[in-house]
């Protein structure tokens, strides 16, 4: 019985090693891809907008110029974002995966933490995209918010702040938190 378990453990370890090796190669390939260089300014802008400026600006616009239902949606989004931030920060400390190493100077002078998994930008962006898409069931709005979230998330790989699996994990985490918290919060506010 111990022999099959040991064999399974070796195969799982080998799979994890191969996946992490792919993740490291992928971030280097994406960051150095010559075809993406023409979008460098857009990715840098997306990374900065992902610090909260884009979503905060949308929320502020809804508070100032929206209807009362829009203001409730902003409160729901804020509550879910706070939960997302708390969860991704806890996971980062528990996992402790360091950010990609590179010989380029950091593109941003401040880095809140040195941990990589999951991407906070991807977590919050996809959580907020899920809320906006659910609250405003218009195909154009849904495409726009998911395109913004995907661009912000991808930019984190391009600027070598995160590995692809960090971004994927953040997108899944943010979406799941929004999925589970949105119904009880809408019940509470409406």
What's the residue count for the chain?
Answer: 190
For residue 102, give its domain range. 2-189
State how many domains the chain has: 1
**Could you tell me which residues are beta bridge partners of residue 98?**
115
Determine what percent of the chain falls in helix, strand and coil, rounding each to the nearest 5: 80, 0, 20
Render each residue's pLDDT in the chain as its tens digit; 190 residues. Answer: 577 777 788 888 888 888 888 888 899 899 888 888 899 899 989 998 888 899 999 999 999 998 999 999 999 999 999 999 999 999 999 998 888 865 444 555 445 577 889 999 999 999 999 999 999 999 999 999 999 999 999 999 999 889 999 999 999 999 999 999 999 998 887 6
Contact in structure between 47 and 162 (CB atoms under 8 Å): no
């Amino acid at each position: 019985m111990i022999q099959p378990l040991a064999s399974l453990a070796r195969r799982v370890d080998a799979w994890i090693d191969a996946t992490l090796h792919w993740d490291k190669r992928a971030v280097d390939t994406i960051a150095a891809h010559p075809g993406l260089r023409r979008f460098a300014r857009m990715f840098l802008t997306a990374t900065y907008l992902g610090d909260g400026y884009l979503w905060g600006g949308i929320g502020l616009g809804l508070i100032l110029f929206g209807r009362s239902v829009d203001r409730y949606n902003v409160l729901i989004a804020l509550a879910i974002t706070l939960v997302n931030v708390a969860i991704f920060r806890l996971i980062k400390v528990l996992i402790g995966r360091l950010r990609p190493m590179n010989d380029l100077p950091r593109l941003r002078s401040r880095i809140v933490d040195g941990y990589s998994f999951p991407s906070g930008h991807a977590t919050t962006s996809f959580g907020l995209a899920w809320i906006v898409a659910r609250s405003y069931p218009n195909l154009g709005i849904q495409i726009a918010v998911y395109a913004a979230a995907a661009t912000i998330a991808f930019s984190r790989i391009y600027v070598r702040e995160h590995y692809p699996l960090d971004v994927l994990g953040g997108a899944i985490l943010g979406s799941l938190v929004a999925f589970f918290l949105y119904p009880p919060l809408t019940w509470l506010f409406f």
